[in-house]
Amino acid sequence: MRQTGLGIRIVDVSDARAVNRLLTPAAREDRAFTRQVQRIVHGVKAEGDRALLRFARRFDGLAAPMEVSADEMRDGAARVDPAVTRAIRRAAANIARVAFRQIPKHWDLEVTPGVVIEQRVEPIARVGCYVPGGRFPLPSSLLMTAVPARVAGVREVIAVCPRPEPAVMAAALEAGVTKLFRIGGAHAVAALAYGTKTIPRVDKIVGPGNRFVAAAKAIVAGRCAIDFYAGPTEIVIVAGGAGGGRPEWIAADLIAQAEHDPDARSVFITWRRSLAVRVAKAVARRGAGRAIVARSLRAHGAIIVTKTPDEAMALANRFAPEHLVVDREALIKRPVTAGAVFVGAYTAQAAGDYATGSNHVLPTAGAARFRGGLSAADFVRVMSVQRMTRAGLAGLAPTIVALARAEGLEAHAESIEVRLWRSSHQSPASARALVTRATARLARAPKARRRPATSHRP
C-alpha cells in the first residue's frame, strides 16, 4: 500500500484486507444515538406540534413561523440571481422529461379467453420531500424529489427544509410544492410520518438527509413508506483506456464527491499503475487546503490497481456504488451494479447531480444491488384489476381446484365449484366432474415453450 501527501491511498487489488475495508466500511452502532432519535420520533408522535416546535427551536433554531407562506416563497424567489433561476427552470424541465418516461404504463391483457388482467397505475395521494439544509442550500434536492412526484400526478407535495434559502423557495415554486415547512432532522420525518395539527401526514417520505434523518426514516418505515435508507455519498471511477485517462478530470470527480461529507467514499479503480500515480498527484494538487476533502479521502478514499479491465469492473460491481463512472462504453457491456452510471470522459458525475434529468437521489451502502435511484415510479401505485366470465372461470377451474386441494384449502376449491354449479344448475358432484374432465384435457394439452431469459442487454 502506498500513501500520498493528501492521504489518498494506492492499493493493490491483491491486498485483500485493504480492499475489503473499502468495500465494507465499519458500521457505527451507536445505541445512545439510536435511543436519542427514537425519543425524538416518539415525542412528535405522542405530543404532535408541541414536541415538534420544541425540537425545531432546539435543533433548527426556528424563530419564524413553521410554514413558509406562498408570499414569502415568492419574495424569496424574487431575490435569487436570475442565472440561478434560469438554471432551476431548465433543470426542472429536464427532470420532468425523464420522469414522464419512468411512469409505469397502463395495459389490458386477455390471458386466456374470458380472463382479463388490467394494470392500473394511480398516483400516491400525498408525499413528503425532505430537503437538507446543512452547510449549503440544496435546491437541486427539492427538484429531484418534488418534480417526479408532480409528474406522477401526486396531488399534495409537502416539503420540509430546516433552513429554506431563497434558492430553495424558488425551486419549491418551480416544482409545484403544495406546502413548505422550515423544519428538518428526525422531528421533521416524524411529523411527516405521523402528522400533526400543522404538518399533514404523508403516505411516503423521500429525499436524502444526515444520519438523524436516515435513522428516523428507518424507524417510521413500518408506518409510512420511504424511498430507501441513504447513507454517505459515494463514487467509484473505473478508467484506464488506450488514451491513458485524464488524471486532472478523474481527480476533480473524486474531490467533488469527497467535498460532500467526511464520510463520503471516493474510489478510483484502474489497471494502469502509472495512471494511478498521476491521479494521486492530481488529487494532492487539487485537494490542497480543503479540510473536508482531506478527511474524507484519508478515511474512505483510495486508488485500487487491478490486473485487467474485467477485474476492475468485477470489483466495481462488488462495491455496488451510488455513482459509477467509466471511461468508455465497452466497460458496461456486461451486467452492472450501481445506482447510476456515467459513461465517457465528458459525462461528469456532477452533471447528473443537477441538470441531465436523471435523478440524483440514489441508493448507497450497497443498496444498488437491489434497486435503482428515485424515479416517478416511486410515486405511483400499480394495481392488478382482474375480470372473468363464467367460461373463463370454467377454463381455469382445473388449475385452481387442483392447486387449492394440494395446499389443503378445501374452501378455496369449493368457492370455484359453487360458482360453476350454480351457473349451470348442476349438483356439486356434477361441478366436480366438470372440473375433473377439464383437468384431464389440460393434462393432454401440449406444453408451452418458454424462451430463455437474458440477464442484460448487450
Catalytic residues: 322-323
Report long-range pairs for 349-352 (Cβ below 8 Å, ≥24 apart).
Answer: 349/235, 349/253, 349/256, 349/257, 349/323, 349/325, 350/253, 350/256, 352/323
The Cα–Cα gap between 380 and 121 comes to: 6
Helix (H) or strand (E) holding 73: helix 70-78
Q: Report residue 250: phi and psi, to 5°.
A: -65, -45
User: Residue 50 to residues 20, 57, 328: CA-CA distances in angstroms?
Assistant: 47, 11, 55
Helix (H) or strand (E) holding 132: none
Amino acid at 411: A
E strands, 299-408, in order = 302-305, 323-326, 340-343, 380-388
Which residues are CB-contacts of 69 (< 8 A; sequence separation ≥ 6)? none
The position carrying cell 410554514 is 67
Contact 56, 187 (CB under 8 A): yes
The neighbour count for residue 306, using CB atoms within 10 Å, is 22
| Distance (Å, whole) CA 260 – CA 255 | 9
Beta bridge partners of 265: 234
Beta strands in 23-151 (DSSP E): 67-68, 107-112, 115-123, 126-130
Which residue carries 427514537 as its cell?
Answer: 38
Q: Which among 323, 332, 327 is positioned nearest to 351, based on CA atoms?
A: 323
Q: Which of 303, 308, 253 is nearest to 280 (CA)?
A: 303
Per the DSSP assignment, residues forming a β-bridge with 268 are: 237, 303
State the DSSP code for 56: I
C-alpha to C-alpha distance for 44 and 53, rounded to whole angstroms:
9
